[in-house]
Amino acid sequence: MVSELCNRIFEQVVIDYHIHNDIGKPYKNPYAEGELESLLYAKCWIDTAQWHMEDEIRNPAITPAEVVQWKRRIDGSNQDRTDIVEVIDDYFFTKYKNTQPKASARFNTESPAWAIDRLSILALKIYHMREQTERVNVDEALLAKNKQKLAILLQQQTDLSLAIDELLHDIEKGDKYMKVYRQMKMYNDPELNPVLYNKK
């Protein structure tokens, strides 16, 4: 099952990242370039680094100049995230390109890779919520609340994993179309963001 592969790799990435817990540290992808495993690893690494950028920008002690620096890094990371999700969709589109959709085939509200994107974020939420259930010297009521939240996240992971596998199975059978829409983000594009192209 694809979701099982995703969850295993995403968990591995989050653990690998927290060995050093350094946003700027380069990483080594343990999988061969072009393979789905390699794409999933790289995708989750982007998400994991960005998760910690989002923490940093919320630090009330940082200066306005640091806020701007973090915001620009987050914008760049968001673009990287979008780009790799589209590459993962290309992988599935190529895999199923010879599948003939049935006359009754339906569209899905999101592509396989954007569903997988949510699964990657869930892996991060689960890791960090689990940390919150293991804190010491905090109120027991808070720990109980965090444990309840963790249980919900784990159920979401189970449900989303099943939905992804069912979607891919439906595409493979021709019951759903494999169709990819590009995000066409405009804010980073110097030809589409008026603030950028009017500065030329």
| pLDDT mean values, one per 10 residues, the chain (200 residues) | 97 97 94 96 98 95 95 95 96 94 92 97 98 93 96 98 98 90 69 68
- Do 185 and 79 form a contact (C-beta atoms < 8 A)? yes
The token pair at 170 is 């439906």
Domain assignment of residue 184, given as a range: 2-189
| Residue 22, CA distances (Å) to 49, 56, 124, 192, 195 in order | 8, 12, 15, 33, 32
Among positive and negative, which fits the CA dihedral 57, 60, 62, 68?
positive
Please report whether residue 194 resides in a domain.
no
Please report whether residue 36 resides in a domain.
yes
d(C-alpha 134, C-alpha 57), whole Å: 25
Please report whether residue 15 resides in a domain.
yes
The partner residues of 176 in beta bridges, in order of sequence, read: 106
Please report whether residue 114 resides in a domain.
yes
The structure's pTM equals 0.91
Domains: count for the chain: 1
Please report whether residue 195 resides in a domain.
no
Please report whether residue 198 resides in a domain.
no
Please report whether residue 199 resides in a domain.
no
Q: Please report the pLDDT score of residue 171 as a whole number.
A: 96
Please report whether residue 196 resides in a domain.
no
